[in-house]
């Protein structure tokens, strides 16, 4: 017997609600295992490459786990604010730089990955910058802080933090926060994000050097 075009095998809404409740309960336990096997303070492996777009004067590609993004010099006002402080504007009077972002596959932490990738694309285009801009996000689950969250983790988080940073200048260019945070937890989250940003920036600089030859 053939099925009509409106046939569906999607789970019922009640089943979806039960599954979401189960995920929420899991993420709020004191000890739980992340779906990809990482510990709470471990970021996904980063693959970065510049010069991937033939039609653009500067481009970059990034993979962080299952999240894949492509940049060729408007994701949002956040992207603009995060990058504006890194560009030496005096070198480009009355000049407009367009940044176009494409998320090829969304696996979580999309915006910080796009920001980091866009910074690489600008550097690849020869735009004068004070430093590369690296960005990392973090999710809060009760007492647990989980860095570089996946999309499943982001869907169940109590709060989130995203930091965009220029390590060589020790300057935060963008900071976003959701949820309720204690001072102690905020300090710990900031320390984790800034440390991860510094390490990511080193990978970004290595990428630029490797692709310069």
Domain CATH code at residue 125: 3.30.230.70
Shortest CA distance to 160 belongs to which of 183, 180, 135, 143?
180
- Helix or strand or coil: residue 16? helix
191 in a structural domain: yes
Query: Is the pLDDT confidence value at 53 over 80?
Result: no
Distance (Å, whole) CA 8 – CA 5: 9
Provide the CA 20 distance to its chain's centre, in angstroms: 24
Specify the 3-state DSSP secondary structure of 100: strand
- Range with lowest mean pLDDT among 14-28, 29-43, 179-193: 14-28
Q: Domain range spanning residue 163?
A: 40-210
**Could you write out the DSSP letters of every residue in 47-94?**
EEEE---TTSSSEEEEEETTEEEEEE----HHHHHHHHTTB-GGGSTT
CA distance 50 to 201: 14
Question: Partners of 160 in the beta sheet?
Answer: 139, 178
What is the separation, in whole angstroms, between the first and last Cα of the chain?
62
Nearest in space to 138 (alpha carbons), one of 181, 77, 80, 86: 181
User: Which of residues 77 and 153 earns the better pLDDT score?
Assistant: 153
H or E stretch including 112? helix 110-124
- Kindly state whether residue 74 falls inside one of the protein's structural domains: yes
Read out DSSP for 125-178?
TT--BSS--EEEEEEEETTEEEES--HHHHTT-SEEEEEEEEGGGTEEEEEEEE
Q: What pTM was computed for the model?
A: 0.71
Domain count, the chain: 1
| Predicted confidence (pLDDT) at residue 167 exceeds the cutoff of 60 | yes
14 lies in a domain? Answer: no
Domain-located, residue 148:
yes
Is 26 a member of any domain?
A: no
% of the chain surpassing 90 pLDDT: 17
Question: For residue 33, is it within any domain?
Answer: no
Answer yes or no: is pLDDT of 62 > 70.
yes
20: in domain: no
Q: Which two tokens stand for residue 150?
A: 């996946």
User: Is 24 inside any structural domain?
Assistant: no
């Amino acid at each position: 017997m053939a099925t009509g075009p409106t046939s569906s095998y999607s789970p019922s809404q009640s089943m979806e609600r039960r599954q979401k409740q189960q995920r929420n309960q899991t993420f709020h336990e004191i000890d739980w295992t992340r779906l990809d096997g990482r510990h709470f303070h471990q970021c996904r492996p980063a693959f970065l490459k510049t010069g991937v777009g033939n039609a653009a004067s500067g481009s970059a590609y990034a993979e962080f786990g299952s999240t894949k993004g492509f940049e060729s010099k408007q994701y949002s006002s956040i992207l603009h604010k995060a990058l504006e402080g890194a560009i030496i504007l005096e070198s480009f009077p009355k000049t407009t730089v367009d940044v176009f972002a494409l998320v090829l596959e969304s696996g979580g932490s999309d915006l910080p990955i796009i920001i980091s990738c866009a910074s690489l694309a600008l550097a690849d285009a020869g735009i004068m910058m004070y430093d590369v801009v690296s960005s990392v996000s973090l999710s809060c689950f009760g007492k647990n802080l989980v860095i570089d969250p996946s999309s499943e983790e982001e869907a169940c988080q109590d709060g989130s933090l995203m930091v965009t940073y220029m390590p060589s200048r020790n300057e935060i260019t963008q900071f976003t926060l959701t949820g309720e945070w204690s001072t102690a937890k905020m300090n710990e989250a900031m320390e984790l994000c800034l440390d991860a940003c510094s390490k990511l920036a080193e990978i970004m600089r290595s990428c630029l050097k490797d692709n310069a030859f």
